[in-house]
A and B are shown apart, each in its own frame.
Chain A
Amino acid sequence: MAQTTSQKGGQRRLPVPSWLRKTLTTFATVAITLLGLLFVTFMIGRVMPIDPVLAVIGERATQAQYDEAYLALGLDKPLLVQFGIYVTDVLHGDFGTSIRTGKQVSEDIARVFPATLELATLGTLIGVVLGVPLGVLAAVYRGSWIDQISRFVGLIGYSMPIFWLGMMGLLIFYGILGWVAGPGRLGVFYQGLVPDRTGLLLLDAMIAGDWTVFKDALSHIILPACLLGYYSLAYISRMTRSFMLEQLNAEYVTTARVKGLSEWDVVWKHAFRNISIQLITVIALAYANLLEGSVLTEIIFAWPGIGSYITTSLLSNDMNSVLGGTVVIGTVFVALNIFSDLLYRFFDPRAK
C-alpha cells in the first residue's frame, strides 16, 4: 500500500535529482526575498516627501533644467515601471550614481564595505573566542561566582547604550591612557602606503609585509572591534549558557558520566558537541548583525563603513546609495543564513 502511494507520488514529480531541486528552491527563495527587500526600500525612497530632482540639480535651477532632470530620472513613468527599470539595471550590476559622492554606487560600496567587514569579523571573533567559553563555564558552574560575572557582563552588554561605551572607551584608552589610536582606520602618515588588494587593511598590510602599517591599523581597529565584540559576547555567552544548561540535564550526559569520563570530556566532547550545531546559527546571526554596519559605532569612531555610508546618504536624500547599500546588506544576510543552514546540515547527523 505504502509502496504504491510513493510510486504514484514519484511519477508525478519531474525526474530532477533532490540536490538540484533543493538548490533551485533555495535560489528562488533568495531571489524573492531580495526582490521584496528592494521593492520595499525603493517604494519608501519614492514616497518620501522629498523631491529627488531638487537633490540633483539644487534649489536655484530653472524650470527648464528641472523638467529635463525630471524626465532624465524617469519620474514621469508609473512607480512600478520605475521599479522595473531599476531592477533591470541592478541585474546588470548598475546601481546608479551617487548624488553625494558623484561616483558609481557600486564603486562606493566596494570601498566602504571592506571596512565594515574587517570590523565585524574581528568583533565577532572576539565575541566567539571569549563568549563561548564564558557561556559554557557559566552553565557548568551554575550559580557560582563565574555565573554571576557572566550574568553581569551580559546585562551591561544588553543595557548600556553603545555610543556611551564607545565614547568612554575613546576617552579612557585614547584620550587619557593613550594605549590605542583614535578615530578612523589609519593614521594620516600611513595612508596609501600599502597597495589596496582586498580592502581589508590588516590583510593588505600583511600581504605587503609592512608591519608598521599593520600595527597602526590594528591600533585603530582594536577599540571599536572590542566594543562590538563585547556586544556579541553578551549575546553569544547568554545563548551558549542556556543551550548548555539544557544539554547538561540530558540523559546522555549522565550516560557519559556513568562511563567514567572526566568532567572535561563530559562537557566538551558530549554536551558541547550537541550545542555546537545551535551555536552556529547564533554566531551567524551575531555576525550578520555586525555586518549590517553598526551605525553608531561607525559614526563615533569615524569608521568609513557601510553603516555610516547608508546613514549619510539617507540624510542627503541620496536614494541610489541607500538602495545599493540595502541590497548588499540584504544579500550578505541571506548568504550567511544559507551558509549556517548548510553547516547545520553538515554537522547534525539528524538533518541528513
Chain B
Amino acid sequence: MSHLLDVENLWVKFPTRNGVFDAVRGISFSLGRERLGIVGESGSGKSMTGRAVLQLIRKPGRVEADRMEMNGTDLLGASDKAMRKIRGRHISMIMQDPKYSLNPVMTVGQQIIEALRTHEKVSQAEARKRALEMLDAVAIRDPERVMGLYPHEVSGGMGQRIMIAMMLIPNPEILIADEPTSALDVSVQLQVLEIMDKLVKDRGMGLIFISHDLNLVSKFCDRVVIMYAGRIVEVCEASKLHEAKHPYTQGLLNSVPDLVHPRPRLEVLTRDPAWREAPSVSALL
C-alpha cells in the first residue's frame, strides 16, 4: 500500500569547493493522512527535506533517493513539466515569513487567483468567487477589501493566513509548512496554526510541519521526527514525546523552560559527536 508520500534514503547534496556537502543524509519517512512534525535545530536539514520533496533544491544542489513517491507517483524521475503539475496542485508549501514570500507588486487577489487558475480552467469570475470563499475560510474579515490590498498593507498574521488560502485553494493533498509561525507575533501564532490545522483536518490532507519549537509540534502533530545533522535520530508519537529516549531529544526537552515546574537553571545541551555518525532512524509507516 502506498501512502501520501514515501521517501526512502533521501540525500540532498551540495558540491562545494571543499568537496560535497550533505545537507540531508539518507533519511526515510512516509506521510499518511496525518500530521508529521519535523523538528531540529538550524542546519539540521529539515527545510531541505521539505524543498527536496517539491524538487525545489536550487542548483547546483542535487536530490538523490532510492524512492520518492507521492500516492505511488514517482517524484524523482518526474520531468520539470510533470513536477509543475504536482506543485501546488498536489503538494504545496507555506514558508516562514509572509513579508517575503508574497509578491510585493501583486495584489492579494491576483496572487490567490493565479494559484487557482494555474491548475484549474475556471473563469476569472469563478476564480474570484472561490478566492473570496477561501479568504473567508482563513477567517479574514471583509475579504472583498483584502483582495485588492498589496502585501505590505496587511499584517504578518493576516499575510500568513493569505498564504494558507493561496496554497490550499487548488486542493492539494499534502501541505508542507516550513516554520509557518516563526516570523509571527506570539499572540497570533496559535490563531494561524489553528486555522491551518482545521483546514488540513477537514480536507483530509497530510501535513508536514517543520519547526524548531518542540512544544508547538507536540501539540499540533501526530508523529514527530527529530533531525540532527541531516539524519533522523528519533521518531515518536507526539503524545509520547516526553518518553523520548535519544539523548538529543531529551536534551532539547530539558532546555525548554517550564512555567509549572520552574528550574533555577536551564540545562545546556551537550552534543555528542557520535550522534552525527549514528545510522538514520526510519520513519516509514
Taking beta carbons and an 8 Å cutoff, which residues of A are in contact with B? 250-252, 254-263, 270, 273-274, 277, 347-350
The A/B interface has a contact count, at CB < 8 Å, of 71
Say whether B150 contacts A255, CB under 8 Å. Answer: no
Would you call B281 an interface residue if the criterion is a C-beta within 8 Å of the partner chain's C-beta atoms?
no
Say whether A349 contacts B105, CB under 8 Å. Answer: yes
Can you report 8 A-B residue pairs in the complex whose CB atoms are below 8 A from each other?
A252-B100, A252-B104, A254-B95, A257-B56, A258-B87, A262-B84, A263-B80, A350-B104
Which of A261, A262, A274 touches B104 (beta carbons < 8 Å)? A274
Most chain A CB within a 10 A radius of its CB, from B84, B93, B96: B84
- A257 and B89 CA atoms in complex are apart in Å by 12
- A263 and B79 CA atoms in complex are apart in Å by 13
Contacts A254-B95, A348-B105, A349-B152 hold; do A260 and B100 have CB atoms under 8 A apart? no
Which of A254, A261, A277 touches B84 (beta carbons < 8 Å)? A261
Cβ contacts under 8 Å, A256 to chain B: 103
Contacts A254-B56, A258-B88, A260-B84 hold; do A273 and B101 have CB atoms under 8 A apart? no
* Interface residue total, chain B, C-beta cutoff 8 A: 32
- A258 and B164 CA atoms in complex are apart in Å by 12
Would you call B102 an interface residue if the criterion is a C-beta within 8 Å of the partner chain's C-beta atoms?
yes
- A258 and B170 CA atoms in complex are apart in Å by 12
Cβ contacts under 8 Å, A263 to chain B: 80
Closest residue of chain A to B119 (Cβ to Cβ) is A260
Secondary structure class of chain A's binding surface, majority of residues: helix
Q: For chain B residues 45-102, which have a beta carbon within 8 Å of chain A? A: 54, 56, 80, 84-89, 92-93, 95-97, 100-102
Cβ contacts under 8 Å, B114 to chain A: 259, 261
Chain B: minimal CB distance from A60 (Å): 69
Closest residue of chain A to B102 (Cβ to Cβ) is A252
Cβ contacts under 8 Å, A277 to chain B: 105
Contacts A258-B167, A350-B152 hold; do A251 and B100 have CB atoms under 8 A apart? yes
Closest residue of chain A to B153 (Cβ to Cβ) is A349
Say whether B103 contacts A350, CB under 8 Å. Answer: no
Chain A: minimal CB distance from B121 (Å): 14
Say whether B103 contacts A252, CB under 8 Å. Answer: yes
Q: For chain B residues 109-142, which have a beta carbon within 8 Å of chain A? A: 114-115, 118-119
Closest residue of chain A to B149 (Cβ to Cβ) is A349
- A161 and B176 CA atoms in complex are apart in Å by 55
Chain B: minimal CB distance from A352 (Å): 9
Cβ contacts under 8 Å, A262 to chain B: 84
- A250 and B152 CA atoms in complex are apart in Å by 15
Closest residue of chain B to A276 (Cβ to Cβ) is B105
Cβ contacts under 8 Å, B92 to chain A: 258-259
Cβ contacts under 8 Å, A261 to chain B: 84, 114, 118
Would you call B266 an interface residue if the criterion is a C-beta within 8 Å of the partner chain's C-beta atoms?
no
Say whether B115 contacts A251, CB under 8 Å. Answer: no
Say whether B100 contacts A258, CB under 8 Å. Answer: no
Would you call B188 an interface residue if the criterion is a C-beta within 8 Å of the partner chain's C-beta atoms?
no
Cβ contacts under 8 Å, A254 to chain B: 56, 95, 101
Would you call B166 an interface residue if the criterion is a C-beta within 8 Å of the partner chain's C-beta atoms?
yes
Say whether B104 contacts A260, CB under 8 Å. Answer: no
Chain A: minimal CB distance from B234 (Å): 29
- A260 and B107 CA atoms in complex are apart in Å by 19
Say whether A260 contacts B85, CB under 8 Å. Answer: yes
Say whether A349 contacts B104, CB under 8 Å. Answer: yes
Say whether B104 contacts A251, CB under 8 Å. Answer: no
Closest residue of chain A to B56 (Cβ to Cβ) is A257
Would you call B106 an interface residue if the criterion is a C-beta within 8 Å of the partner chain's C-beta atoms?
yes
Cβ contacts under 8 Å, A257 to chain B: 54, 56, 87
Say whether B88 contacts A273, CB under 8 Å. Answer: no
Which of B96, B100, B107, B118 touches A259 (beta carbons < 8 Å)? B118
Say whether A251 contacts B150, CB under 8 Å. Answer: no
Closest 3 CB pairs of A and B: A260-B88, A260-B87, A251-B100
- A268 and B100 CA atoms in complex are apart in Å by 18
- A298 and B106 CA atoms in complex are apart in Å by 44
Closest residue of chain A to B54 (Cβ to Cβ) is A258
- A349 and B148 CA atoms in complex are apart in Å by 11
- A277 and B106 CA atoms in complex are apart in Å by 13
Say whether A259 contacts B88, CB under 8 Å. Answer: yes
Since A251-B95, A259-B88, A260-B118 are in contact, a sample of 10 more A-B pairs with Cβ atoms closer than 8 Å, ordered by chain A residue number, is A258-B54, A258-B167, A259-B115, A259-B166, A259-B167, A260-B85, A260-B86, A347-B105, A348-B105, A349-B152
Closest residue of chain B to A348 (Cβ to Cβ) is B105
Closest residue of chain A to B96 (Cβ to Cβ) is A251
Chain A: minimal CB distance from B102 (Å): 6
